[in-house]
Amino acid sequence: MGCFECCIKCLGGVPYASLVATILCFSGVALFCGCGHVALTGTVTILETHFSKVTTDHATLTDVVQLMQYIIYGIASFFFLYGIILLAEGFYTTSAVKELHSEFKTTACGRCISGMFVFLTYILGVAWLGVFGFSAVPVFLFYNMWSTCEAMRSPVANLTSIDSICVDVRQYGIIPWSATPGKACGSNLGTICNTSEFYLSYHLYIVACAGAGATVIALIHFLMILSANWAYLKDASHMHAYQDIKMKEEQELQDIQSRSKERLNSYT
């Protein structure tokens, strides 16, 4: 076999579906974790500068943001390892592996591990659906603030007083009602919308939400792949059991025939 044939044979053993799902999962998690981490920091800066001048008013929020950032570190590390494990599982359970190796036998432990991956991926997919919905909340809040600023700058808007248009973040439960000033009105609100922290955080939240959606799609893709691989292992185990029974029956038939010949020869 030449070098070209060996390369073609090796490329045939690559689980491309698992590879695509792994790349999509890594990309989605990287976007969610990286953009989410920076966007949270920018949100705290905006609140401290414009909505909550007293440190004790947003101390709880700061602690929650730091906790969420640590959780982001854990999510990134976990999914990096989990994606590699699922990719390795795809290599060892794809049908191409059976073509590369003449003997491909499955065990009950291997089928149990594949079933465990199916269950765990299903749980993670449901959890990421919640993360995707949660990541849409800051996008909605920033969009409301941005649309209010755009309405103030609109020349066709019939405004009696710009200062009467306000955005109160206290109503969202981000900071307590005792926080001062707690809201931004008129020109102050326009100044906030023109800051780099606002636009950066707004767009980063959008990208983080898109990353969470991509991760959900990747986990659904993984779930379909793992289910197909588990069914393949189950069918392979049944086929091996059938082949073992068939080989035993053939061996017994050959033994009976050989004993019959020996008896016939001894009688003769």
Q: Write the pLDDT tens digit of every residue in 154-174.
A: 755 555 567 777 888 888 888
Please tell me the predicted confidence (pLDDT) of residue 100: 41
Please tell me the predicted confidence (pLDDT) of residue 24: 92
Please tell me the predicted confidence (pLDDT) of residue 177: 81
Q: Calculate the average pLDDT of the chain.
A: 79
What b-and-e string marks burial along 138-158, b requiring 16 or more CB atoms within 10 Å of the CB? bbebbeebeebbeebeeeeee
Query: Could you give the CA distance from residue 170 to residue 45 in angstroms, rounded to a whole number?
Result: 16
Q: Could you tell me the pTM of the whole model? A: 0.78
Query: In a 3-state reduction of DSSP, which class is residue 132?
Result: helix
Closest of 60, 72, 58, 25 to residue 225, by C-alpha: 25
pLDDT digits (tens, 9 = 90+) for 56-92: 777 888 888 889 889 999 998 899 999 898 888 877 7
186: tokens are: 């008129």
pLDDT digits (tens, 9 = 90+) for 18-42: 888 899 999 999 999 999 999 999 8
SS3 assignment for 147-179:
HHHHHHHCCCCCCCCHHHCEEEHHHHCCCCCCC
Query: Could you give the CA distance from residue 173 to residue 39 in angstroms, rounded to a whole number?
Result: 18
Please tell me the predicted confidence (pLDDT) of residue 96: 44
What is the residue whose two structure tokens read 């969610």? 32
- At 10, is the pLDDT very low, low, confident or very high (cuts 50, 70, 90)? low
For the CA atoms of 47, 48, 52, 58, the dihedral, rounded to the nearest 10 degrees, stands at: 90
Query: Is residue 143 pLDDT above 60, yes or no?
Result: yes
Question: Identity (one letter) of the amino acid at 9?
Answer: K
